[in-house]
Amino acid sequence: MADCGQYHEIRQGDVTILRTEPFLVLLTVLLLAQAASSKEEAVDLGPHRVTFSLPSSVECALTVAEPAEGRTPTGIDYIERSIDLDCGGGRASISLRAHQSPVPAGDGVVRALSKKTPRGIGVVGVETEARLVDRHTGYLTTFSLARGGEVYQAAYWLDRHLAPGDFMGSTYCVISSSLPWTATKELLDSIHLEVKEEAVGTSTVETVVVGPYLVYFDLGGLNYTVFTEGPDAGDPEPGAERYRAILASGQRRATIEIDGYEDYRMVNLETERLLAEAHLQAKGYTRNNGSEWTVGGEAGILSVGENEDHQILFVAIFWPGQVEAGEGVLLARTRCEVESSFLWNATEIFLDSIRVERIEEV
């Protein structure tokens, strides 16, 4: 008898019956076939590394194009890099455009990038839908061709962030494909772009003592001067003390305001969002909005405002050392409010890296 799978003994009285389970063999074969059905590629595009996979049955010649420089209608310089895939069943391309400074990156912009008709095709139908690409919100457009068949194009931003009234971003990716949908879907499901480690730069985390607190942060290598203030007893209320650190660099600065309480207070992010927007409004940044954002490794709020001179100000609020009190209730003894007029690149690094700890708890 051929070995068809794993045997199990079933005893019925004095008789032993051997029962096979051939589906285990079939399952193993299917898993092995699945593992061998895709092939992963890794390609460097400037400071980014692109990884993706296609079915092993799709044979492609891969070409990396020379970088192309350009300028937007508003005068923002950019560099565009791309990968071309010439395959037996069609073609595909992955284009990455990195702008020198942030540009509008709202959903309307992403949708328009996806709907921009690829050159050299006649289109009789266009359908666009939202789609997650590389774990980012993006759009996918399907172009129905006059000659028959379809071309797919997806677009998303790698680094867009909240700005007054909409989003801003520096780098977007557009993926075009005339490959069959099964191959295109695998390309879209597997693609991932990240900044190469050697391009990230060395961390420059600094530590500042602010009253009874240690504040850790990284400003991305910027030169700055530190000023500290406090304690201001009874501010913002009796039983509280306020401390302040100011990081000044030229005309830009970041202020870290720390309120320490004797007892635990409830963390209410919706209230903090309203307070952040009111803070911006009071300073003349009348175009503003806010949303939940991870600050210092904790759930917090980030609000962005723009004044009449088109200056941008960021306000972030978070409570370090949050503890759960059951049923989604969070408590903490320290509240931090950060105001930054630095450009977004430095502000993002700052908000990702900041940590505030009581010295007696370190």
189: nearest Cα among 125, 109, 135, 243: 135
Average of per-residue pLDDT values in the chain: 85
Distances (CA, A) of 86 to 123, 231, 325, 330: 21, 66, 57, 54
155: nearest Cα among 178, 180, 130, 179: 130
pLDDT exceeds cutoff 80 at 86: yes
Give the phi and the psi of residue 227 in degrees, each rounded to 5: -125, 140
Percent of the chain with pLDDT over 90: 58
pLDDT score at 16: 39
pLDDT exceeds cutoff 90 at 325: no
The span from the CA of 252 to the CA of 266, in Å, is: 33
pLDDT score at 242: 94
pLDDT score at 238: 79
pLDDT exceeds cutoff 90 at 121: no
pLDDT score at 272: 96
Distances (CA, A) of 142 to 147, 151, 171: 15, 6, 23
pLDDT exceeds cutoff 70 at 234: no
Confidence band for 254, pLDDT divided at 50, 70 and 90: very high
The span from the CA of 152 to the CA of 125, in Å, is: 12
Confidence band for 10, pLDDT divided at 50, 70 and 90: very low
The span from the CA of 267 to the CA of 30, in Å, is: 50
pLDDT score at 309: 82
pLDDT score at 14: 44
pLDDT score at 236: 72
The C-alpha angle with vertex 188 and arms to 134 and 123, in degrees rounded to 5, equals 125
Confidence band for 200, pLDDT divided at 50, 70 and 90: low
Is it true that the peptide bond before 231 is cis, omega within 30 degrees of 0? Answer: yes
Give the phi and the psi of residue 111 in degrees, each rounded to 5: -60, -40
Beta bridge partners of 287: 306
pLDDT score at 362: 53
338: nearest Cα among 348, 330, 329: 348
Highest mean pLDDT: which range of 32-46, 190-204, 227-241, 327-341 = 327-341
Span 30-50, pLDDT tens digits: 334 444 467 789 999 999 999
What residue has token string 């409830």?
Answer: 266
Is it true that the peptide bond before 236 is cis, omega within 30 degrees of 0? Answer: yes
pLDDT score at 12: 44
Residue 201: exposed, middle, or buried by beta-carbon count in 10 A (0-12, 13-18, 19+)? exposed
Domain 38-199, CATH? 3.40.1000
pLDDT score at 29: 39
- Which helix (H) or strand (E) segment holds residue 48: the answer is strand 48-55
- Which helix (H) or strand (E) segment holds residue 174: the answer is strand 166-177
The span from the CA of 362 to the CA of 340, in Å, is: 26
pTM for the model stands at 0.55
